[in-house]
Amino acid sequence: MKNRMTGSSTVFFSHGKESGPWGTKITALAAIASERKFGVESIDYTDLPDPDDRVARLLDRVSRSGCRSPILVGSSMGAYVATVASENIRPAGLFLMAPALYLSGYACHKPVPCCVKTVIVHGWNDDIVPPGNSIRFAQEHQVELHLVRGDHQLSGNLLFVGDLFALFLKSLYCSSG
């Protein structure tokens, strides 16, 4: 599913380690972006287990797209990928769900969100990535953080995450929504 609208920004989705490019969260958020006339691209990383190889793929895809104001969205490992890539891409915004930050095995231990607006959503009951990692990151970088009653997948919070994503897009480009 690709939807590249002329003259609008594109939302690039990066899925997590155990997910795929069109999982439940990405499908729901892509529909919200499309409704608001944003281009949508969800990158398939299923052949790349290494998070830093995924960063390289995202950098290449955004570069080849020609999009001047990309928006990066990521879940878990995909949120790490989006955050690390932001240092080179300088996106309009980052929307991060249960970001896999400060974990061993990842080359960048202190990624910096390089954009105007970053929003994080994390479940209090996440047993994959501790919510404390998102609290630490939000505090270090003074970014918006939403902690919800939920787990790593945030599946019970999909409506809230969708509403939050719609507000995030509106805050970036008021004329788009």
pTM value is 0.93
* Rounded CA separation 96/8 (Å): 21
Question: Which band of pLDDT confidence, cut at 50, 70 and 90, is reported for residue 3?
Answer: very low
What CATH number did the domain enclosing 83 receive? Answer: 3.40.50.1820
Total domains present in the chain: 1
Burial class (CB in 10 A: 0-12, 13-18, 19+), 3: middle
Provide the domain limits for residue 167.
Answer: 2-176
Q: Read off the DSSP letter of residue 134.
A: H
One-letter identity of residue 59: L
Question: Contact 129/102 with Cβ under 8 angstroms?
Answer: no
**Is 141 in a helix, a strand, or coil?**
helix
Residue 124, SS3 per DSSP: coil
DSSP H helices, 36-142, are: 51-65, 77-89, 131-141
Closest CA to 84 of 69, 97, 74, 92: 74
Tens of pLDDT, residue by residue over 50-68, are 999 999 999 999 999 999 8
Q: For residue range 94-111, what is the model confidence (pLDDT) as tens digits? A: 999 999 999 988 999 899
